[in-house]
Structure 1
Amino acid sequence: MDVNMSDADAVREERLMYGDDEELDSKYPNRPHNQHKTLPFHSLFTELFNPLLDSTKKNRPPTARRKAGPHGQSNLSPHEARRNIIERFIAKWRKEVGQDFFPAMRLIVPEKDRDRAMYGLKEKAIAKLLIKVTKINKDSDDAKSMINWKLPGQLRQASATTAGDFAGRCYEVLSKRPLRTEVGDMSIAEVNNTLDQLSQTGSEEQQFNIFRRFYRRMNPEELTWLIRIILRQMKIGATEKTILEIWHPDAEALFNISSNLRRVCWELYDPKLRLDGDDTGITLMQCFQPQLAAFQNKVGSFEKMVTKLQPTPEDDTFWIEEKLDGERMQLHMTEDPSVPGGRLFGFWSRKAKDYAYLYGKHLEGAEAGALTRFISDAFGRNVRNCILDGEMITWDMDVDHIVGFGTLKTAAISEKENVTGTNTGQRPLFRVFDCLYLNDKLLTPYTLRDRRRALQSAVKGVHRRLEIHPYKEAHSYTEIEPELRKVVAEASEGLVLKNPRSMYRLNERNDDWVKVKPEYMSEFGESLDCVVVGGYFGSGRRGGAHSSFLCGLLVNKKAKEGDPEFEKCYSFFKVGGGFSREDYANIRGRTEGKWKDWDPKRPPPIIELGGHHENRQHERPDQWIRPSDSVVLECKAASVEGSDKFRMRITLRFPRFKQLRTDKRWTDALSITEFMELKANVEREHEEKEKEQEFKIEQSRRKRARTTAKPLTVAGAERSVDTPYAGPKDNLFAGLSFYIMTDQIDPTKRSKADLENLVKSHCGKVVQRESSDENLIIVADKHLVKVKSLEKRDTCNIVKPVWILDCIRQAEADTASIPYMLPFEANRHMFHLKEADEGPYEQNVDEYGDSYARDLADVEELKTVFSHMANVAGGRFDKKIFLDQLEDHGSSFFDLKTHMLSNMKVYFKPSDHEDDSWNMQVMLAKNYIKFAGGTILGVRKGVTHVVVPKGETAVDEDGDVDVTGLARTVGVGWIERCWEEGTRVDEERYQWG
């Protein structure tokens, strides 16, 4: 845009940037038009982003009270301060530009802009473009610091504080060689226009020209914010919910039903004009934000959980559904005689990603996709249009069972090309559990029970293509546990409990839909002690240091130095959760100077990663360490599952760090043989417990009494604590006095008496008045008169009761450690905080609000931490990117490996000279066979293959053959080669052991 053009010319050119003006005016007849050119791009960060970040740095507990400053501003809460900043910027835009705020909104919350395509650029690609634009040597320290932006500041030019912050690292480099020192003259509209061009090109040359244009017209700070916008990692300290709410009172409601920023800005430009009731409902072919299930971890039992579903004495019914491991999807269908097949379809994910290109727009023709071509008979004859809510999952027809969601995109692409409709392999299956719109009628105001009736009348279904998701009608909380055990045994995610009397609420989590998941398995106890062999650098606050670690299993503990198997490890799992700041510091202190950078061209021979034999580079760490120089970690997990990403071909599901085993040397860590034996014992014990539990439940049912089976622990559920005082349990609060002023309100209700009994049961002293005792802790959770009096004096801190419960919970969790009191956390623990203590207490949590000293209390707190991560990281989780990463690791041949040895029945001939090496080989070979669809037999009859030890045959000493029929004799090497190649190889080359 010519910087010298008139304001009127600039406005006309900016309007043309939207595309066809007449078409937009017909679609949005009341859309506003700006009277003046848009603000300069730099106004976004000088007047909005940077002030918001400054207010975030001063974040303090919302309940804390501060004295007003000389200008009357310091008494504002951080939330109020952020609202003022946003309101001022919007007011300036309305005054100096006009009512069309969309150009600014799409740069403020770029992750919510569905009108602009993805750029296809990640950090390294942007770094290479900047290196080329700035004409710096690609082997220079500056170039390396941008390419290796996660690494700590070991290079002379790289600051340690920017490790893990790509935009910050780019600023360091760009600020040394700016073409402009002052802010540039690009307007917000010009930036949008250029970003549209960037999103529409995949040519590296065109990308280079666009970045060169930005470089010539922006200073380093502008470029830094531009990079954050492109990466959709804004980190401005305010959520889109806050910004939408300030723009218009109904903006969030309209966004929930449309997922369309453009529509929000153009239809709701006047805060005085409110939406009518008819305008707040979902409509056909318009993506909406679906209702979400809550994870009710605050209740302590299934009984209380069911109470939350609000059953009545007249109707105590609630529904139990299996929680599916797939992708949330909404399907829109309407009659359209102008398209092939007469029906038009729309598919959108929970994140408003349009999937019609994959699953189909029409029933026939070129735009019939992986699903629509097969569902022409899925709807009733009288159904003109409908909107269905459900889960898109992958179904394996060969085993007739659901497959993990990581295979969904691959299966859909394959099925899209399956014009013959072959009834084998993996395919997408849409499981529908709700109907929100039917024959021009909005159903969200109706109860779930009524919506289900409408669903059953409208959808006939097509077997293993589009099906109605089943549910079980329940009346008692005792019916939950057997169903949970059933789905867990089938490797399912868990359950969803639903209130059939509830209405559908867009973009809400409430007690009408409740998720129930199993707790971490405890059968392994404290035996999962594994040696660290690799480290991965983190990002953000943990940038420049290892944030997660690769753990391995020792191949041969008995190997001596000089032996090829000495210190050799197979990669087993990657763990990054559960570490406190002290844990990281302890690991760093014990391994300082012993880490080596991982060279993909010359990987260390003592560490084998997952992947093909020729290229074992899956889950490659940034650095590696010799086991003899390393540490041993104790970890827990939800389960053990098969995985080609690790050399063991199995890994831990949801691994979590428990503690650093400073009492163990690397030789005390688990070996392959020890873990496989442990795994076999756990599986055997689990089966025995299941049988015992089933027997007890059956007996209890016969007696019409409450089950005596041990209840399954719900993940994150708060552990119950006996409150009546019956003598001290431990000395957790020894030496402390507690003045408990009120009942507990949040997160659960407890009486003042219960809290006092809790304190006494852990050796704390209870007093009934304030004193000058330095060991006195004042506790309150209500603004009573006496509490407000203490707040006004501002001479002491007041702690929330939840701190007491957190201390007890952490002490119980850390059974191997001496109980200790947790440090106070400003937001979670402090009811009133003196101004002098704000800084120190805020340092007890990381930038996301995650405590360095304690485990997360429940899933609600985990969600809060995740929501802070979304704010800092500039967006929410992009499932498409995650699926693409899974495909990169798994590749299409892995799907075949899961059944490449189907119909094989294998017998392993015992060896007369067994040793650890042979036992390890046999256990791995058996796992390969099971994972590949084969069967292990303990008898010789009816087998297809006999595996014999090295140097032996399938013939007994008396000359009789062990097996009959056409069974093949092979060695362990044949099984290993089949697994490495991903297919069966010729047996004749491996017919001897």
Structure 2
Amino acid sequence: MSNDLSMLDADAAKEQKLMYGDDHDLDQNYPNRPKNLHKTLPFHCLFTELFNPLLDATKARKPVGARRRQGPSGHSTTSPQEAKRNIIERFVANWRKQVGNDFYPAIRLIIPDKDRDRAMYGLKEKAIAKILIKVTKINKDSEDAKSMINWKLPSRLDRASSSAGDFAGRCFEVLSRRPLKTGVGDMTIAEVNSTLDQLSQVGGEDQQTSIFKRFYRRMNPEELTWLIRIILRQMKIGATEKTILDIWHPDAEVLFNISSNLRRVCWELYDPDLRLDGDNTGITLMQCFQPQLANFQNKVGSFEKMVARLKPTLEDNTFWIEEKLDGERIQLHMVEDHDAPGGKLFGFWSRKAKDYAYLYGKHLEGEHAGALTRFIQEAFGSNVRNIILDGEMITWDMDIDHIVGFGTLKTAAISEKENRNGTNTGQRPLFRVFDCLYLNDKLLTPYTLRDRRNALKSAVKGVHRRLEIHPYIEANNANEIEPQLRKVVAEASEGLVLKNPRSMYRLNDRNDDWVKVKPEYMDEFGESLDCVVVGGYFGSGHRGGVHSSFLCGLLVNKHAVEGDPDFEKVHSFFKVGGGFSRDDYAAIRGRTEDKWKDWDQKRPPHLIELGGHTENRQHERPDQWIRPSESVVLECKAASVEASDKFRMNITLRFPRFKQLRTDKKWADALSISEFMELKAAAEQEQDQRNKAFNIEQSRRKRPRTTKKPLVVAGSGNISAPYAGPRTKLFQGLEFFIMTDQTSPVKRTKSDLEDMVKANGGKIVQRDSDGNNLVVVADKRLVKVSSLEKRGTISIVKPIWISDCIQQASLDTNAIPYVLPFEPNRHMFYLRDDDLEELEANVDPNGDSYTRDLNDVDELRDMLGRMPSKDENAFNRDEFISQLGSHAHSLKELQNYIFTNMRVYFSQCEKPGWDMSVRIASNRIEFGGGRITDARLGATHVVVPDDGASLKHEKNMDITGLARLVGLAWIERCWLEGTRVDEERFQWG
């Protein structure tokens, strides 16, 4: 198709300008890009011709076998996979015919989660619900408004509503009762893209509401529903981006993996007959790519089986053990550029293709030197002209010389960006490199990991606590994994990654060459615990409207009788949502139906005490609750026990998993607090005797200081007046644990601060406690302060808050004295992630308090100087949640992923009907992502008849190694449940 603008009709030319503005820059970067000859399709065509047909094909749930097979009437039938491909192929062909070869406007709406050109909208479900309430002018106290805000709960208007857990579906129910348009709207795909671009660039709710009003006027409820799914980037249309890209062009997936750029995929590969050559299929400098990922190891079994999946050979059985870091995956590109300050140009991209050069730096010197580049002039060898490194960006605390949580990374980077003098204290970003993919114009991905590591060592010298090569341990035996796992867990790390040193680097692939090993695979807390259910949480998606997870607790006094204050009283202990099958949910529902009550936050049940233990601080609050005497007992198992203030016990289970419903036990037989503490003590004693201590308190131990901290003498030198009783009641009811002197903006000793508190009605304590009225104060990161931070149970306040409260009280002479709400930047020395959202509500977007008067002009100047650029430094909550969400195992909820990574061997058997049963089961395995193998060696599962007939037939069958011997019923049950169920119930041998 010619790109001559003279061939475009008037509507097409108008749309080109609407979507792309001035074409001059685009024509320079993409001189051969296609231009559509006609106007883009109406937006409703996306769901009438693509989304809805794909969902219908998914719901058909036909077994997958041969592409074409004979139906009952003799006619050929189509498999679901082929049916879906046909739907996509028809849509693409129709687009080429009616619009042109520029598919980019459509594909960025079809797979919006892969669109890197459009910024995040800053909108999640509740924010969209509030906007729709304004747009439709619904009373915010109406049932419709409440049903959108509380979208996970069953609708009060229709308790049987299928939209519970489906926010877009709930919006459709509400919008369909008050549509402005009943027929389809007239917005084109180009217009929708242009309007979404505007939505991604505005920041205030008023502007967002104005844009939604525009959509509401021009779309019917179904169109708005799909628009909401696009904004949330939660499509679930029954086809993966791999399928869609492959149908657009055979090389589309390859180009996307090396560029992370849908625009480039659509504009360079618009002709299916033009293929990429070998030089264009590898990563390139200063072009973001999709990195290799480590495989999950759920239900994998022993460490021996994990090692076996790393493909050892007789000549080389080594594997590498690396610590799994709690940071953000980052790729670093560096090229020589004599025009750049310092002679080098840098690029930084995240796994989601977010450009972080603005934060970590583009140059070694000058205004574009960032939080990392200004300190790594000596990081590379003198002969390195260009390089691409793969690694993890973490936060390192120099005061305790240890890694700290991922949530502090961006704050540390912003702070370090302004650290012109390179102060060797506080928190800073540290780039840990574990792979080298490109060096001096040479692509290294086809080489083995061992060779790439050798290249890395020769090219990177590193800079201490700025850019370092991540260490690894070379191992030959699975027994070497557990000691390393215990070591990293004791240091509060995430776990390990096992790597095959003989493997190549595979872009955008999650395979067995890299394997995650997390503490959940350790059988530490081996005892199964029988606990009573006291709360339920509604799920989303296919579990919408029903309980998908449960709150379990420990009985306070199981011997208490009715009329006793402790009768039926329970302390919350853990939340469990994994391991349940459909039958398990049905059994629990059958035994507890009509016994659940909605949780009232203002009047919580006295029988159940949650974390926080007040009306306003009800951590892990369930959607519904149930009396213990009317509830059930669940047997659960966990990896370990860890400290947590989210539960009333102040400890909880780590990675709890449901094992079975204890129908043989009454509620009073469930575990009590005293019984659990005895059980825990016995488990810890047994571990000590085996010299495998895995104490839950190890994460709280004080880390020895590696360097001696210089003595700092604080104080203004003034003699404090003796304490003469309270002068005000400002701090009455509060307890203060003051840990250090004040260092800024003025110096005060710890004693001075205590006198100020006592003079205003506060109480001084000398240790932290679980009280809700405790204020912990510190201004220096001493060892004891760092230890408290590491526990992460309480936020720490700077001493300036005390003086701010006193000064504000003196200004408001006509008002009752009140303590100021905490301000995140000014008042917090250490801020827990769980408290961040609450404290951010105390200040406006620029950090100005809603309640505290500014002290002077200097403070106003400081506040204005800290104001971040809108695009550079603003915290994007939705992007953060999206990153967390990328670690979720959401694919396992799809039926075509349930058998991923399985290699199945079907036993030979002459039992009547066995061959037909094997054919059906094979189809299900392949549809679910598994593979059928003709050899037992290398199989992960060996399937035999449920009566074990083939065991007699194959007396010498070797089922050692990876293989698990299961009955055919296990595959059938997995298929019915839509998830991989516990194998032990169906296992032979």
Q: How does 1:42-441 map to 2 (within 5 A)?
A: 42-63=44-65, 68=70, 75-156=77-158, 160-295=161-296, 306=307, 309-311=310-312, 314-364=315-365, 367-413=368-414, 415-416=416-417, 421-441=422-442
Query: Following the alignment from structure 1 to structure 2, what is the Cα–Cα distance between the partners of residues 301 and 576?
Result: 23
Conserved? CA contact 1:747–1:802, under 8 Å: no
Deviation at 1:251, TM superposition (A): 0.3
Query: Following the alignment from structure 1 to structure 2, what is the Cα–Cα distance between the partners of residues 283 and 540?
Result: 39
Conserved? CA contact 2:946–2:969, under 8 Å: no
Query: Following the alignment from structure 1 to structure 2, what is the Cα–Cα distance between the partners of residues 342 and 428?
Result: 23
Q: How does 1:838-987 map to 2 (within 5 A)?
A: 844-845=976-977, 849-850=978-979
Conserved? CA contact 1:745–1:782, under 8 Å: no
Q: Over aligned residue pairs, what C-alpha RMSD do you find?
A: 3.7
CA deviations 1:641-663 (Å, max 9, x no partner) are 22333333322221111122233
Query: Following the alignment from structure 2 to structure 1, what is the Cα–Cα distance between the partners of residues 273 and 67?
Result: 34
CA deviations 1:709-731 (Å, max 9, x no partner) are xxxxxxxxxxxxxxxxxxxxxxx
Distance 1:106 1:558, change over 3 A: same
**Per chain length, whose mean CA-contact separation is higher, i.e. which structure has more relative contact order (CA < 8 Å, sep 6+)?**
1
Deviation at 1:33, TM superposition (A): 0.5
Conserved? CA contact 2:943–2:968, under 8 Å: no
Q: Is 2:912 aligned against 1:770?
A: yes
Aligned to 1:8: 9
- Please identify, of 354-363 and 410-419, the stretch whose mean Cα deviation from structure 2 is larger: 410-419
CA deviations 1:289-335 (Å, max 9, x no partner) are 11223357798766665565455555554433333343322112233
Query: Following the alignment from structure 2 to structure 1, what is the Cα–Cα distance between the partners of residues 919 and 561?
Result: 62
Find the residue that maps to 1:461 and give its secondary structure. coil
What amino acid is the match of 1:430? F
Distance 1:505 1:480, change over 3 A: same
CA deviations 1:760-785 (Å, max 9, x no partner) are xxxxxxxx3537xxxx896547999x
Aligned to 1:936: none
Structure 1 gaps, min length 5: 1-5, 694-743, 757-767, 785-799, 809-819, 830-840, 859-993
Distance 1:291 1:609, change over 3 A: same
Conserved? CA contact 1:258–1:289, under 8 Å: yes
Query: Following the alignment from structure 2 to structure 1, what is the Cα–Cα distance between the partners of residues 920 and 547?
Result: 42
CA deviations 1:648-703 (Å, max 9, x no partner) are 3322221111122233333333333332332222122112223699xxxxxxxxxx
Find the residue that maps to 1:332 and give its secondary structure. strand
Query: Following the alignment from structure 1 to structure 2, what is the Cα–Cα distance between the partners of residues 304 and 582?
Result: 30
Deviation at 1:212, TM superposition (A): 1.2
Deviation at 1:26, TM superposition (A): 0.4
Conserved? CA contact 1:823–1:844, under 8 Å: no
CA deviations 1:14-55 (Å, max 9, x no partner) are 112223310011011111101001011111111111111111
Distance 1:692 1:67, change over 3 A: closer
CA deviations 1:878-930 (Å, max 9, x no partner) are xxxxxxxxxxxxxxxxxxxxxxxxxxxxxxxxxxxxxxxxxxxxxxxxxxxxx
Conserved? CA contact 1:488–1:518, under 8 Å: yes
What amino acid is the match of 1:173? V
Distance 1:779 1:95, change over 3 A: closer
Conserved? CA contact 1:780–1:801, under 8 Å: no
Distance 1:312 1:594, change over 3 A: closer
Query: Following the alignment from structure 2 to structure 1, what is the Cα–Cα distance between the partners of residues 195 and 10?
Result: 18
Q: Is 2:649 aligned against 1:648?
A: yes
Distance 1:552 1:372, change over 3 A: farther
CA deviations 1:535-577 (Å, max 9, x no partner) are 2111111111111112223344455655555444333221111
Distance 1:521 1:447, change over 3 A: closer
Find the residue that maps to 2:635 and give its secondary structure. strand
Distance 1:778 1:375, change over 3 A: same
Find the residue that maps to 1:844 and give its secondary structure. helix
Distance 1:359 1:555, change over 3 A: farther
Distance 1:305 1:584, change over 3 A: closer
Aligned to 2:534: 533
Distance 1:857 1:191, change over 3 A: farther
Aligned to 2:635: 634
Deviation at 1:472, TM superposition (A): 2.5
Conserved? CA contact 1:110–1:229, under 8 Å: yes
Distance 1:607 1:394, change over 3 A: farther
Deviation at 1:100, TM superposition (A): 0.3
What amino acid is the match of 2:660? Q
Find the residue that maps to 2:47 and give its secondary structure. helix
Q: How does 1:575-590 map to 2 (within 5 A)?
A: 575-590=576-591
What amino acid is the match of 1:850? T
Aligned to 2:443: 442
Query: Following the alignment from structure 1 to structure 2, what is the Cα–Cα distance between the partners of residues 658 and 560?
Result: 30
Distance 1:626 1:159, change over 3 A: closer
CA deviations 1:465-515 (Å, max 9, x no partner) are 221111233445554455445445545444433333332221223443344
Query: Following the alignment from structure 1 to structure 2, what is the Cα–Cα distance between the partners of residues 223 and 749?
Result: 44
Find the residue that maps to 2:594 and give its secondary structure. coil
Conserved? CA contact 1:349–1:355, under 8 Å: yes
Find the residue that maps to 2:573 and give its secondary structure. strand
Structure 2 gaps, min length 5: 1-6, 695-898, 923-939, 949-964
Query: Following the alignment from structure 2 to structure 1, what is the Cα–Cα distance between the partners of residues 591 and 414?
Result: 48
Distance 1:204 1:520, change over 3 A: same
Query: Following the alignment from structure 2 to structure 1, what is the Cα–Cα distance between the partners of residues 538 and 222?
Result: 26
Deviation at 1:13, TM superposition (A): 2.1
Conserved? CA contact 2:966–2:983, under 8 Å: no
Find the residue that maps to 1:550 and give its secondary structure. strand
Find the residue that maps to 1:331 and give its secondary structure. strand
Query: Following the alignment from structure 2 to structure 1, what is the Cα–Cα distance between the partners of residues 500 and 484?
Result: 17
CA deviations 1:257-299 (Å, max 9, x no partner) are 0110001000100011111211111112211111223357798
Percent of aligned pairs sharing the same letter: 76
Aligned to 2:546: 545
Conserved? CA contact 1:608–1:616, under 8 Å: no
CA deviations 1:88-121 (Å, max 9, x no partner) are 1101111111110000000000010011111111
Query: Following the alignment from structure 1 to structure 2, what is the Cα–Cα distance between the partners of residues 65 and 553?
Result: 55
